[in-house]
Amino acid sequence: MFESISESFRLALSKVRFVDDEKALKNALDVLKKALLKSDVHHKVVKEFIATIESDIKQKGIGQKQLLDSIKSNLTDILTASGNQGFVYSSVPPTVVLMAGLQGSGKTTSTVKLATYLKLRKKKVLVAACDLQRLAAVEQLKQLCEVNEIELFYIDGETDPLTVAKAALDKAKSGLYDVLLVDTAGRLAIDEVLMSQIKDIKTLLNPDEIFYVADAMSGQDGVRSADTFNEALGISGVILSKFDADTKGGVAIGIAKQIGIPLRFIGTGEKPADIESFIPDRIVSRIMGEGDLATLVEKTSTIIDEKEAKRLNQKIKKGQFNFNDFLEQMESVKKLGSMKSILGMLPGMGAMANQLKDIDLENSKEIIHIKAMISSMTLKERENPELLNNSRKRRIAEGAGLSQMQVNRFLKQFENASKMAKKFAGKGGARGLANLLAQAGQNRPR
Ligand code: GDP
């Protein structure tokens, strides 16, 4: 997302690196203008943005720092539409959220992602299957909810979404749920029937929020559809899906600036964990290639339990970190989302993350091999890696269907990783990691 804008910001900045004159500024602004237009940002928005930056710089003096500051603050202003940020809980539970959007926009996936996000924050969540237009929709939701252990409310054979919505609300109230997410019907295009159906559900449920799921790749069309939904329904926030797949960024800017609705969440991949709250200044810092440590640290803290982290830290310090702990850690990392989205949050890694084809932690060959090796070990061996002599290693290689060289290589890597971890543990373990990351963030060249 925003790759071409990010790139052009860097290029624009380089134009005013050494020269302090009007011509250099004009060149820089031209680069910016072209890039924004190419990125599907509406021409009026571009014009206003460039004019504001120009007058800013003329006041403050031409220079790289001035230009950087001005771009950052104006972009943050544009992306900060008035309204709530992230998820806001109603004072009287359940918080009822209507999920709306066009077919294929990522509505179902986003509903499951949001449920996962809330579950990680220890909320009791119920999803209601009210997309009864498409036969496969309820089935898709059933499967996704089952795999991700999310509670789904549906009525087999029911064709009236209002009946399902009403029963789901009753259940959410009587079952003391914190949040009810209501999936509504999507269509290929906006039509009257679709709109009146959602309006009826809205009237019935009186939801706290109406989230519109917009596809980040949909350009100005996406902005227009969001506008239509907003006029008909009154949207309170937008979830921008496929943020990872888009390289332009025009939809985000358009929705915030042209429609004035806050972006609440972004979808950063296909997995349930790939969702983040949209926090304008953090996003801007990522666009400028400065990384987003705050989001990373926040994400990690919802997944890694503090007590568990302390226990592991003690084990690592004593050199007792074993294969069971290793497997557990791999499971935790998986919950963080795709490798690409994690890397994008580290300072200076944005460009690299974009180059990276998404590493799939679950299906990569190496991870499958490692799991095979660990499952070929006896329980004692898993707890005590030192037991592994040559004959045991041979047995493990056979059991995992790998060569002994592969097993040796893995064991060596594991040994090195344990040593590194031991060193790290001395510096404060998990918190040490956060501190180190934070230092890396502060020390980055500006
Ligand atoms: P719906 O018809 O609006 O319910 O759309 P779906 O939820 O079925 O999503 C349509 C397609 O987009 C699916 O293949 C999803 O995996 C994919 N998708 C949804 N959100 C994201 C995202 O944030 N990133 C990526 N890369 N793909 C997504």
The secondary structure of residue 163, as a DSSP letter, is H
pLDDT greater than 50 at residue 435: no
Contact by Cβ (8 Å): 130, 124: no
Verify that 136 and 222 share a domain, yes or no.
yes
So what's the pLDDT on residue 443?
36
Protein residue whose Cα sits closest to atom 16 of ligand 1: 270
> From ligand 1's centre to the CA of 321, what distance in Å?
38
pLDDT greater than 70 at residue 150: yes
So what's the pLDDT on residue 444?
36
> From ligand 1's centre to the CA of 166, what distance in Å?
27
For the chain, how many structural domains are there in total? 3
**Is the C-beta atom of 241 inside 6 A of ligand 1?**
yes
Q: Give the side-chain half-sphere CA count within 13 A for 190.
A: 17
Residue 86 domain flag: no
What b-and-e string marks burial along 231-246, b requiring 16 or more CB atoms within 10 Å of the CB?
A: ebbebbbbbbbbbbeb
Q: Ligand 1: which of 109, 143, 194 to mutate, judged by most atoms within 8 Å of the beta carbon?
A: 109
Residue 188 domain flag: yes
Alpha helices in 122-269 (DSSP H): 135-147, 161-174, 192-205, 219-233, 250-254
Q: Which of 290, 313, 347 is the last residue before a domain boundary?
A: 290
**Is the C-beta atom of 105 inside 6 A of ligand 1?**
yes
Distance CA 176, CA 135 (A): 30
**Is the C-beta atom of 109 inside 6 A of ligand 1?**
yes
Q: What number of helices (H) and strands (E) belong to the chain? A: 21, 8
User: What is the pTM assigned to this prediction?
Assistant: 0.73
pLDDT greater than 80 at residue 319: no
Verify that 51 and 120 share a domain, yes or no.
no
So what's the pLDDT on residue 421?
62
> From ligand 1's centre to the CA of 89, what distance in Å?
25
**Is the C-beta atom of 337 inside 6 A of ligand 1?**
no
Q: Confidence band (pLDDT; 50, 70, 90) for 431?
A: very low
**Is the C-beta atom of 133 inside 6 A of ligand 1?**
no
Angstrom CA distances, 276 to 22, 50, 218, 297, 352, stand at 40, 29, 20, 12, 20
Verify that 254 and 119 share a domain, yes or no.
yes
Verify that 75 and 101 share a domain, yes or no.
no
Comparison of pLDDT for 414 and 106, the residue scoring more:
106
So what's the pLDDT on residue 438?
41
Preceding amide of 94 cis, omega within 30: yes
So what's the pLDDT on residue 187?
73
Q: What percent of the chain has pLDDT over 90?
A: 40
Q: Is 228 helix (H, G, I), strand (E, B) or coil?
A: helix
> From ligand 1's centre to the CA of 268, what distance in Å?
10
Residue range 288-293: mean pLDDT, rounded: 67
So what's the pLDDT on residue 429?
43
Verify that 358 and 411 share a domain, yes or no.
yes
Verify that 286 and 341 share a domain, yes or no.
no
Q: Which of 258, 290, 322 is the last residue before a domain boundary?
A: 290
So what's the pLDDT on residue 275?
94
Residue range 174-181: mean pLDDT, rounded: 98
pLDDT greater than 70 at residue 420: no
Strand order across the 275-277 sheet: 151-153, 125-130, 179-184, 95-101, 209-215, 237-241, 263-267, 275-277
- Return the bridge partners of 263, or none: 238
So what's the pLDDT on residue 339?
64
So what's the pLDDT on residue 413?
77
Residue range 338-350: mean pLDDT, rounded: 63
Q: Confidence band (pLDDT; 50, 70, 90) for 436?
A: very low
Burial class of residue 52 in the structure, from the number of CB atoms within 10 Å of its CB (0-12 exposed, 13-18 middle, 19+ buried): middle
Residue 394 domain flag: yes
Could you tell me the CATH number of the domain that includes residue 49?
1.20.120.140
Residue 401 domain flag: yes
> From ligand 1's centre to the CA of 108, what distance in Å?
7
The total number of residues shown for the chain amounts to 446
Residue range 14-38: mean pLDDT, rounded: 80
Residue 187 domain flag: yes
Distance CA 193, CA 297 (A): 44
Residue 85 domain flag: no
Residue range 341-349: mean pLDDT, rounded: 62
The secondary structure of residue 121, as a DSSP letter, is T
> From ligand 1's centre to the CA of 218, what distance in Å?
13
Q: What is the mean pLDDT of the chain?
A: 82
Residue range 22-33: mean pLDDT, rounded: 86
**Over the stretch 252-287, which tens digit does the pLDDT of each residue have?**
888 998 999 999 999 989 999 999 999 998 888 877
Angstrom CA distances, 362 to 143, 267, 274, stand at 18, 19, 14
Question: Containing domain of residue 383, as a range?
Answer: 296-442
Comparison of pLDDT for 358 and 119, the residue scoring more:
119
Alpha helices in 336-364 (DSSP H): 339-343, 350-355
Q: Confidence band (pLDDT; 50, 70, 90) for 440?
A: very low
Could you tell me the CATH number of the domain that includes residue 322?
1.10.260.30
Verify that 136 and 219 share a domain, yes or no.
yes
Verify that 102 and 211 share a domain, yes or no.
yes
**Range in 44-58, 140-154, 290-304 the model is least confident about:** 290-304
Nearest to 238 by CA among 274, 277, 273: 277
Could you tell me the CATH number of the domain that includes residue 209?
3.40.50.300
Which residues have C-beta within 8 Å of that of residue 268, sequence separation ≥ 6? Answer: 243, 244, 274, 275, 276, 337, 338, 341, 344
Highest mean pLDDT among 66-70, 184-188, 303-307: 66-70
Q: Which of 231, 259, 290 is the last residue before a domain boundary?
A: 290
> From ligand 1's centre to the CA of 237, what distance in Å?
18
pLDDT greater than 90 at residue 182: yes
Residue range 33-54: mean pLDDT, rounded: 90
Contact by Cβ (8 Å): 223, 255: yes
Distance CA 41, CA 262 (A): 17
Distance CA 177, CA 57 (A): 52
Verify that 25 and 159 share a domain, yes or no.
no
Protein residue whose Cα sits closest to atom 20 of ligand 1: 106
Q: Which atom of ligand 1 is nearest to the CA of 107?
A: 3
**Is the C-beta atom of 111 inside 6 A of ligand 1?**
no
**Is the C-beta atom of 94 inside 6 A of ligand 1?**
no
Residue range 203-220: mean pLDDT, rounded: 94
**Range in 106-120, 325-339, 424-438 the model is least confident about:** 424-438
Verify that 42 and 59 share a domain, yes or no.
yes
**Is the C-beta atom of 104 inside 6 A of ligand 1?**
yes
Distance CA 428, CA 385 (A): 24
Verify that 45 and 188 share a domain, yes or no.
no
Residue range 3-24: mean pLDDT, rounded: 73
> From ligand 1's centre to the CA of 11, what distance in Å?
33
Residue 8 domain flag: yes
Residue 246 domain flag: yes
Verify that 374 and 322 share a domain, yes or no.
yes
Q: Confidence band (pLDDT; 50, 70, 90) for 1?
A: low
pLDDT greater than 80 at residue 16: no
